[in-house]
Structure formats: C-alpha cells, structure tokens
Amino acid sequence: MTSDAAPGQEPAPEDLRSAAKGWQGIQLAVLGFIGLCGVLKGSGPAGVPRGIQVVAGVLALSALAVACFAIFLVGLAAWPLYRPGARPADPRRSSRHLRSGIALTFTAVALLTLSASASWWPVKAADSAKTSRSLVRVNTEAGTVCGALSESDYGSLALRADDRTVTVALSEVTGLQPVTSCG
C-alpha cells in the first residue's frame, strides 16, 4: 500500500480504499482457487484413512469460510457503508479491517494447503495392487462377464475372470459397470 502519510500516521481514506480494492482481486482469485480445488478433489486417493479424509474436508470448508469472511472485511475497507447523516468511515477502523482481511486471506491459503496434504498420504503396496486390479461387469448381447481389467488390443476389452482371459470387442459392449466384487 503506497501512502504519503508519515510514519505512525494513518493513511488517507482514499489510499486505504484503493489498496483494499486491489486486495479484493487477489482474494477473489484465492476464493476461486479454493472452489477449483474442491471440485477437483473428488473422493480422495485410495488408501487414505477415513479420519484423514474428514479432517481434510473440514479444513477445506474452513478455508472457504475464512476466505469469505476475509473478503467481507476487506470489502468494508474498500466500500465503507455510509448512513445518511453519518460521519465518514474511521480510517483506523478501515485500516484494521484491511489488515485483518489480508491476514485471514493468508490463513485461508494455509488451511487449503493443509487440506491438500492429505492427497500425499503414503499408500501401501498392497493397497496399490488392489486399486490397480479394477473389477468391472461387462454386458453384451451374448451375456455378462465380470472380472479384473487386463491389457488388451485396440478396439477390445480384456477381462481376467475365473483364471481365464475373456476378450470382448468394444462394439459388442452394451454396458460397463465398476463393481467391488464379482460374486
């Protein structure tokens, strides 16, 4: 924030409003980033304990709430509310709102960073092997087959079912559904 005010003296209200309007652009970018992370997060990586996923979700929602409150505080400094017959906004109060809003913006980014750290949870090799053997149920006009996906040629789908490999042309597939078991 640039100001012609001497050290220890409050900046002019116009300078505060200008700085606050600039910070609101940054805050809206942070809010958009929090929203984008929430959309991209999905159900979380496989193998992360449920408790860690819950804590990550709470941290992400907290980041959103803190970012919204920060935008509100900086908005009070950028566009002070005037009542008819009231005196102009106190520059010290506007300065406090701006400083608090900026600090809360950084807090929201820190909360989002902590929330995202759950995606780096170490996954055991056994858990990784389980998730790499995805089970699917494939429907064709000839019948239904269920098994783990296997490597196949272009234009076909290969499943490992009952210790044998079944290959189905993609043009024959009428339905495909992921399942947790083939029983």
The domain spans of the chain are 13-120, 133-179
Task: Indicate the fold that domain 133-179 takes in CATH.
Answer: SH3 type barrels. (2.30.30)
Q: Is the pLDDT of residue 1 over 50?
A: no
pLDDT in tens, 136-163: 899 988 888 888 888 888 888 888 888 8
pTM: 0.56
Give the H or E element holding residue 122: none
Angstrom distance (rounded) from CA 28 to CA 146:
48
Single-letter code of the amino acid located at 11? P
Give the mean pLDDT of the chain. 80
Q: Is the pLDDT of residue 3 over 70?
A: no
pLDDT over 90 for what percent of the chain? Answer: 14
Phi, psi of 143 (to 5 degrees): 155, -165
Helices (H), 50-172: 50-78, 91-116, 125-132
Asked which of 13-17, 56-60, 74-78 is least confident by mean pLDDT, the reply is: 13-17
